[in-house]
Structure 1
Amino acid sequence: MNFKDIPAHENVKRQLRDMVADGRVPHALLLHGPAGSGKFMLARVFAQYLHCEHPTSDGEPCGTCPACIQHQTFNHVDTLFVYPVVKTEKLKEPVSDDYIEEFRDFITSSPYMDFDKWASSFEKKNAQPIIYVYESAGLERRLAVSATASKYKIVIMWLPEKMNEQAANKLLKLIEEPYPGTIFILVSNDASAILPTIKSRCRPVEVTRLDDATVAEYLTRRLAMDPQDAMASAHIAGGDINAALRTVDATSVSRMFFDYFVQLMRLAYQRDVKGLKQWSADITSMGREQEVKFYEY
């Protein structure tokens, strides 16, 4: 991924490039703004740009050096991801690495980082993922080891506002007294919920909401939607691509349920027993969650 692959936010991209060009990369950076605006993608590309061995003249990662290839598969040895997770019976002291494969899949399927989708991916229902103190303790051990493949060891933390108090206090110490060559990139949907002492030690970069046209273009390109329908969904979403995608999904599900309902009425009217049995089998094959939604519909 390159900066140019991320819609909008040209001012933020310029700021990030200028930090590198001026040799003034802060040891703690806070990308903050509304959900669904693409902040995490900006963080990922910035980390790749910092590690890239042959950045292009127009301020992009080259995409072909070993560092870039490792970033594209989320396997760069000097890039650490921190994100909210869930305690289970088997994982009493969970850390991000316990869920790294699931997180890689999530980043790929939901590049705009839909937190609700991430929370629902855990087996524990109604889970409220947070960043626990065990994370900060483990992070300190890992950062004590110098970068091995590049100049910087980069920590990308998604949703620092989800840290519990103990984790936040430990992170504060790491930011106040950073290990040499360490860069923290915090990606927040709600900067006001971050511990003020942490926020004050980060260089803030605001990422504003996307305009409706940008969201609509994304929906049209990704889902092959009719431009007029895409614009209507974008307007409802208020600049949040994740909300726009949920709107489209809800509309599609409602249409599907309506079609099934009409089919049921026709089969019942015709007293088509064979057809009714097949209809019942089709509903059952949806899976329990969708089946319940249908009967609620």
Structure 2
Amino acid sequence: MQKKEISYREHRELGEVAWLRDHDRALALAVEQVKPVLLLFQEVPGCSTCVRFGQDVLTHPLMVELIADRFVPVAIFNNHPGTDAEILRRYDEPSWNNPVVRFLGPDGTELLPKLADRYDALGLHEKITAVLEMLGDDVPGYFRLLGRDLLVEYGLSKCVIYTTPCFWSGETSLAQHPAVITTDAGWVAGEEVVQVHFDPREVSRRDLDAYARAEGFNPTESGGFEFDRERQFYLRKTPVRYLPLTPAQRTRINLAVPYRGWLADLLSPQQSAWLADPQLQRLSGDEAYRQDIRQSWPSLMAQLGLIGKEK
């Protein structure tokens, strides 16, 4: 067994996931914890593709948390001799290669075809979701929302702006459509509007416009959209405003609050733990929810740490 079991912060190629470095130890832990194994073959130090995979895919806080909670993650370096090379040969993986991710059951059997030749967060998200569903495990609501955020991030969503008599109620009314990912209150030429990102695979622009008109809103092609300083009006009235959130999370939470919806599934375990911490308000800014989660999360972690988990 290799002495060093975890190796990640010193290698940009590994992102923020705490990886085991011993393959057989990972399988033993998978049996003990009744979890699947997420096996990464990675070049360390690696090419630009390997570094981007580590920094763009393996650093999103919600991706990192889901992997830690639901998998036993182990990294094998595909350009190192010794034990790494032995595991590489065992799986017939090429050396000095771009990232490859395999998903194993506790007994070492492959659960799904490996993730290869795709190096974006959406690809890994889809595979992880498929593995959890295959195993009959629940896919947390916060992780499903992350997949919708990634559609926006990768330019696969569509954006439309609707005029509304009240943009705060407009946010929640439009968010009730299942294809809507995010809603944001704002202004166009002094008029109250709501900007919407939606999944075009689930609804056409024509049908979404019809839904909006039935709710009393009209599409506008005018440009110059500006965010209102109090968007997600209902969320702002709660301590959730002090949490790092993704755009899809804050939209769903803003909808849940006035309708007394259940928030627990919309937050990750770490977000829920932070929310329960009496120091949250004092240590976090009241605009944290609107900031980029990739920046606001590390900032809050530096203040509160990983609550209820080994630091």
TM interval, short-chain normalised: under 0.3
**Which one has the bigger strand percentage?**
2
Structure of higher CA gyration radius: 1
**Which one has the bigger helix percentage?**
1
User: TM-score normalized by structure 2?
Assistant: 0.26
**Greater RCO, CA 8 A, separation 6+:** 1
User: TM-score normalized by structure 1?
Assistant: 0.27
